[in-house]
Structure 1
């Protein structure tokens, strides 16, 4: 396993920045080990919802977990507002870094992650294969 630290800047789109970064890596499988920071806006798809909900304000990132592949990500996040109320869900594009996002990413050179439409769920789900040798 290869471990890479990243820091995102104010205004960066958390999901899109991770997708762009992963698309530039030679490894085809990754995951979030650790994440702290803040957002000014979180776009979350809540459980059972079909559309994202915008949460705005000074939000602290409490946790971020998920898988990264060159053709997509699956990320869940929990954030707390200025009163300490916590909300979480599927991280969507448009979630903007407020002051910083400090991430530690694990890359798995022996594996390949892909996303393929799963007829049973209706979503692009994770497909795991050994990486091509060569």
Structure 2
């Protein structure tokens, strides 16, 4: 495992920026160990929902965690608004950095993560395989 601290800057799409790290560092598996910072827009798929819900304003990231694979991320986040109300859910595209986001990733070069359809859950679920560096 190799750790990688990141700082994302204003306007970056949180999910897209994290997914791009795998290509940049030529790895096929990573975990977001923790993230803090702020968003101006959060697109979250709430528990049990089919579509994402948009939240706008000065949003503080209280926690961010999840897994990253070349075929998608599975990220959960909790954010608080300016009144201290907290909401959390799955991170979808369209979460934009307001001032900064600081993230600690664990890159896993010996593993390959994939998202494959699971008949029981109905979702693309994590499949973990050893990574052959000949790939």
TM-score range, shorter chain: over 0.9
Q: How many residues align?
A: 134
Q: What's 1:48 paired with? A: 48
Greater Cα shift, 39-48 or 26-35 = 26-35
Greater Cα shift, 26-35 or 46-55 = 26-35
The 3-state SS of whatever aligns with 2:74 is strand
Q: Which runs of 5+ in 2 are unaligned?
A: none
Q: What's 2:4 paired with? A: 4
The 3-state SS of whatever aligns with 2:104 is strand
Per-residue CA deviation, residues 7-56 of structure 1 (Å, 9 max, x unaligned), is 11101010111112223322211001121100001000000000000011
Q: What's 2:115 paired with? A: 115
Cα distance in 1 between the residues matched to 2:99 and 2:39: 7
Per-residue CA deviation, residues 55-102 of structure 1 (Å, 9 max, x unaligned), is 111000000010011111100000000011110000010000000011
Residues 1:37 and 2:37 are matched in the alignment: yes
Residues 1:98 and 2:98 are matched in the alignment: yes
The 3-state SS of whatever aligns with 2:119 is coil
1:124 positional shift: 1.2
| Structure 1 consecutive aligned stretches of length 4 or more whose deviation exceeds 3 Å | none
Q: What's 2:68 paired with? A: 68
The 3-state SS of whatever aligns with 1:43 is strand
Greater Cα shift, 17-26 or 34-43 = 17-26
Cα distance in 2 between the residues matched to 1:133 and 1:104: 24
* Length-normalised TM-score, structure 2: 0.95
Cα distance in 2 between the residues matched to 1:91 and 1:133: 30
Per-residue CA deviation, residues 91-133 of structure 1 (Å, 9 max, x unaligned), is 0100000000111110111211111111222211100011115
Residues 1:20 and 2:1 are matched in the alignment: no
